[in-house]
Chains A and B, each alone.
Chain A
Amino acid sequence: MDQTGRNDPTPTYDGPPDYRVVGRHAMFPETRHDEIERINFLAQMNRHLAARVVPGVKTAYETRVEPAFKAEHKRPIKDRHEARKALLKDSAFTTWSALRRLTMEQRQQAGRWTVLRQREQLAQTAATLTDGDDRLSLDPTLPIPRYVSAVDHHCMPGSYHREAFPGDVTNGANYDHGGFVVTGGLLGRYSDGGGHAVVGWVRRNLPDFAPRNILEIGATVGHSLLPLAQAFPEAEVTGVDLGAPMLRYGLARAKSLGVDNVRFVQASGEDLSIYPDASFDWVQTTMFLHELSSTALANIFRESRRLLRPGGVVLHVEQPQYTPDMPLFEQAMRDWDAFYNNEPFWSRLHEMDLDAAMVKAGFPAESLIHGGVTGVVDRDLFPDAAEDNTEDFGRKAAWRVIGARAPA
C-alpha cells in the first residue's frame, strides 16, 4: 500500500492510523521510532482480534458451544454467565482470550518502558508547569478505596494512584500515550473524542444550557474534561480523581494545550464535602461508573444530586447496559473485561437498573435523561466510530448517556 493512503479512513484502508498522527503537548512522553512501532503493532493486534478473530468465536458459539450446552443440559443457555462458562470450554474463545490478555500485557509493558526511562524528566516538566499553581490541589492523606486498590484496572501496574517518588507522573503518562493501543484512534488526536461527543450532545439537546461551574468525577488526565472547558470558556471546570499522578499530569497537559479554565483536585467522588451543596451546574462522568463498587456508585450518585444547582445537569457516559434484547453472546463478550482485564465492577454495573439508582439518589423519575453518543474525531486522520462496524466488545467508542436535570 502506498504511504499517502495509510491514514485515509476510506475503504482502501481499514484499520488504525499510524501512531505518529497523535496530538503532542509539553507533557507528552517522548516516543522513539521503535516505541511507536510497538504501539502500531499492538493497535493492529487489537484490530486483528476484533475484526478477524472474533467472528470465528461467534461462529464457534453458534455451531459448537450452544449445541454442546443444549445436548448436556437439555435446555438453552439462560444468561451471560452460563454463556461465558460454556465459551471457556471452546478453543476459539480461549485462544482469542489468551491473545487479547497478552496483548494488553504487552501494551502495558511497552508504555511503561517508554515512560519509566524518562520518568525523572517527565516529573520535572510537570513540576515546572504546575508548581505553585493553586489549580492543582492534592491530598496525600486520601485513602484509596478497595475497588481501586485490590486489582490494577485494565492490568495497568500501579493503577491511577501509585507513585514511585514525590512528583511522579509516570502512570499518567503511560495512561495518556498508550491508550491508542486499545482505541485504535477512535478517540482522536488527544483521546478526547468522548468529551467532544458529550459537548455535541449537550449542544443538541440542551441548547440554552450555560453552565458556570462544571465538575467531572474520575477525570484522570483530563481527556474528557478539556473539551468541556474549551466548549464553555466562561465556565470554571473542575476534575476530581483519586490518583495524584493523573492530576499532576492533567493540569500540566491542560496548560500546555492552552486550556486554563480547569482545576485538578485529588478527592473521592464518594465524599465531595469540600464543596457546599448546589456548587455545580453540571456534573459529568465519562467511562467511569464501571470502575466503582455498588456502595461507591450510590454515594457518587447522591453526591452528584447534592452538588447540583436547581436546573443543573448530571450526565454519565458508559458502555451500554445488558438488556434482555442484547444477545447472550454479546453480553458474555462484553463481560470479558470484568473477569480477564481487571474491571471487577464492570459486570455488575452493566446489569444494574441505573434509572432506579438515580431515583434513589434523589432525582425524580421524570427528570431522567437517556441518550447515545459516539466518539468525535478529526476525520481527516482518524476512523469514525459511528461508521466503524467492527465490534471490539466493551471498547468501542459508542456509549450510552444516562443523566438527569435537577428540578429548577
Chain B
Amino acid sequence: MSIADALAGAGAKPAGKRPYFLNPEVERVLAITMAVAQELAVARQRADTLERLLRAKGVITDHEIETFAPDPQASVERALWTQEYIARILRIVQQENEAASLQGDVASEEVGDEITR
C-alpha cells in the first residue's frame, strides 16, 4: 500500500455522522490539540527510551545531540515521519471534508429508531 493510501486510510471517517458537543470550531481545535498532546507524549517517551539506553551504555553526551546533522537518507526518513505526523493531527479536517462529500450518512440515533421499528 502506498504512503498516500495509508495516510488516508488511517484517518478515514467511520460511517455515521459525527456528533459535536461544543461549538464546532472549538471542538475542531480541541481535537487537533489533543492529537498533538498524544504525539508529544509519544515523542517524550521515545526520547526517554533513547536517553536511558544510551546513558546506560555511556554512548552519548548532550553536546552530540545538540550538534547532530542528518545524512540525506536520514533527512528523507525524518521528512516522511513529519508527513505522517501532520496527517494524524489534522484527522478532523479530513473527516469533515469526507462528510461534506457524502450522501445518505445517518446518525446512530436515527438507525436506533429505524432498526427497532
Bound Cα distance A40, B48 (Å): 15
Q: Contact: A88 with B21, CB < 8 Å?
A: yes
In the complex, B49 has a CB within 8 A of chain A: yes
- Determine if A26 is an interface residue (Cβ-Cβ < 8 Å): no
Contact A152 B15 (CB under 8 A): yes
| Residues in B whose Cβ lies below 8 Å from that of A103 | 34
Q: What's the Cα separation between A109 and B13 when bound, in Å?
A: 9
Using Cβ atoms and an 8 Å threshold, which residues of chain B touch A117?
1, 6
B109 sits at the interface (CB 8 A): yes
Do A113 and B84 contact each other (CB < 8 Å), given the known contacts A34-B42, A147-B111? yes
B1 lies within 8 A of A157 (CB): no
Interface-facing stretch out of A223-231, A243-251, A337-345: A337-345
Contact partners of B45 in chain A: CB under 8 A: 33, 37, 40
Residues of A within 8 A of B42 (CB): 34, 37-38, 41
Determine whether the beta carbon of B30 is less than 8 Å from that of A345: no
1/0 contact string of A97-122 vs chain B (CB within 8 Å): 11101110110111011001101100
A99 touches B116 (CB 8 A): no
Residues of chain A lying within 8 A (CB to CB) of residue B110: 344
Residues of A close to B16: CB separation below 8 A: 150-152, 155, 342
Question: Which secondary structure dominates chain A's binding surface?
Answer: helix
Whether, in the assembled complex, A59 has its beta carbon less than 8 Å from a beta carbon of chain B, the answer is no
Min Cβ gap B83→A in Å is 12
Closest to A352 in B: B116
Instruction: Render A322-348 as a binary contact track against B, CB cut-off 8 A, 1 for contact.
Output: 000000000000000011111111111
A295 to B111, CA, bound (A): 13
| Closest residue on chain A to residue B85 by CB atoms | A34
Instruction: Check if B35 sits within 8 Å of A106, measured CB to CB.
Output: yes
Asked if B115 lies at the interface with its beta carbon under 8 angstroms from chain A, I say: yes
Any chain A CB within 8 A of the CB of B106? Answer: yes
Known A37-B45, A38-B42, A95-B21: A116·B35 in contact at CB below 8 Å: no
CB <8 Å contact, A348 and B9: no
Q: Does A10 contact B (CB under 8 A)?
A: no
What DSSP secondary structure best describes chain B's contact surface?
A: helix
List A contacts of B9 (CB < 8 A).
112, 116, 157, 164
Residues of B within 8 A of A273 (CB): none
Among B38, B45, B117, the most chain A Cβ lie within 10 Å of the Cβ of B38
Is A146 positioned at the interface, with any CB of B under 8 Å from its CB? yes
B14 within 8 A of A: yes
Contact across chains for A105 and B115 when beta carbons are under 8 A apart: no
A-contact bits for B42-55, CB 8 A (1 contact / 0 none): 11011001000000
Nearest-neighbor residue (CB-CB) of A105 within chain B: B91
A233 to chain B, nearest CB (A): 39
Q: How far is the CA of A157 from the CA of B112 in the complex (A)?
A: 19
| Residue A367 is within 8 A (CB to CB) of chain B in the complex | no
By a beta-carbon cutoff of 8 Å, the part of chain A in contact with chain B is 33-34, 37-38, 40-42, 45, 88, 93-95, 97-99, 101-103, 105-106, 108-110, 112-113, 116-117, 119-120, 146-147, 149-152, 155-159, 164, 293-296, 338-348
Pull 23 A–B residue pairs with CB atoms less than 8 Å apart, ordered by A. A34-B43, A37-B46, A94-B22, A95-B22, A98-B27, A109-B10, A109-B88, A110-B10, A112-B9, A117-B6, A147-B111, A150-B114, A156-B14, A157-B15, A159-B14, A293-B116, A294-B117, A340-B21, A342-B108, A343-B108, A344-B108, A345-B116, A347-B112
